[in-house]
């Protein structure tokens, strides 16, 4: 398995290409932009985009879907059945999926958007806008931020320290580094009192 990385200036977003050694059908994660550079990366390495994994439907992560659909007959996967007006396969939280030998486990992490998934592939986490180097994702308010912190603590932090983190924006990092130095996570235990009721319902939902 090989991993390729593409950075788009438009939206300052990251797109990831994962496929077998030597080319073939591949997975594209978060196609925020489909530009000449990304197309060249796919084609020059002998890949065909057969599967698209969407962490969430914010524009900087899905805007390239229209162009990709004109080039490749790709199936879209995510948390909701429709992404940017296109039909998608709904993935179940925690279930392992086999994409032609590449094993993918979606992890439902709440707080940034209503449809956010993190994808675990071997020792890699594709975290979208949930977790990046030195910070967690943005949120609409204190309640949503508290929900996101608790969700990260429950779903992401228990994973092994050696996990590599590939975010939707910014540089790669490791889970160990974020546990040690991410200021947002270190302050994560300080939950605003206004969020406690909302967090209670989230805890019940996750049981």
pLDDT band for position 8 (cuts 50, 70, 90): confident
- What is the CB neighbour count within 10 angstroms for residue 178? 25
Q: What are the boundaries of each domain within the chain? A: 2-206
Average pLDDT of the segment spanning 22-26: 96
Query: Which residues 6+ apart lie within 8 Å of 155 measured at CB?
Result: 107, 108, 109, 118
Average pLDDT of span 160-189: 89
Predicted confidence (pLDDT) per residue in 69-80, tens digit: 999 999 999 998
* pTM score, whole prediction: 0.86
Q: How far apart are CA 197 and CA 200, in angstroms?
A: 5
pLDDT at residue 128 is higher than 50: yes
Half-sphere exposure of 76 (CA within 13 A, CB side): 24
pLDDT at 115: 79
- Domain 2-206 is classified in which CATH homologous superfamily? Ribonuclease Z/Hydroxyacylglutathione hydrolase-like (3.60.15.10)
Task: Please give the pLDDT value at position 37.
Answer: 95
| Residue 82: strand, helix, or coil | strand
pLDDT greater than 80 at residue 202: no
């Amino acid at each position: 398995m090989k991993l390729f990385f593409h950075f788009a200036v438009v939206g300052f977003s990251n797109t990831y290409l994962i496929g077998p050694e030597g080319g073939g059908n591949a997975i594209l994660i978060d196609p925020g932009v489909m530009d000449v550079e990304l197309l060249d990366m796919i084609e020059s390495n002998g890949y065909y985009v057969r599967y698209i994994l969407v962490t969430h439907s914010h524009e900087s992560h899905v805007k390239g879907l229209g162009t990709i659909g004109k080039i490749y007959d790709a199936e879209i996967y995510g948390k909701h059945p429709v992404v940017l007006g296109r039909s998608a396969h709904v993935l179940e939280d925690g279930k392992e999926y086999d994409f032609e030998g590449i094993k993918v486990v979606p992890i439902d992490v709440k707080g940034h958007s209503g449809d956010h998934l993190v994808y675990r592939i071997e020792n890699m986490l594709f975290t979208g806008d949930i977790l990046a180097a030195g910070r967690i994702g943005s949120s609409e308010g204190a309640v949503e931020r508290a929900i996101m912190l608790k969700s990260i603590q429950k779903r992401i932090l228990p994973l092994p320290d050696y996990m590599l983190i590939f975010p939707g924006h910014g540089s790669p990092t490791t889970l160990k580094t974020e546990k040690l130095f991410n200021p947002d996570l270190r302050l994560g235990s300080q939950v605003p009192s206004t969020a406690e009721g909302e967090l209670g319902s989230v805890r019940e939902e996750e049981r």
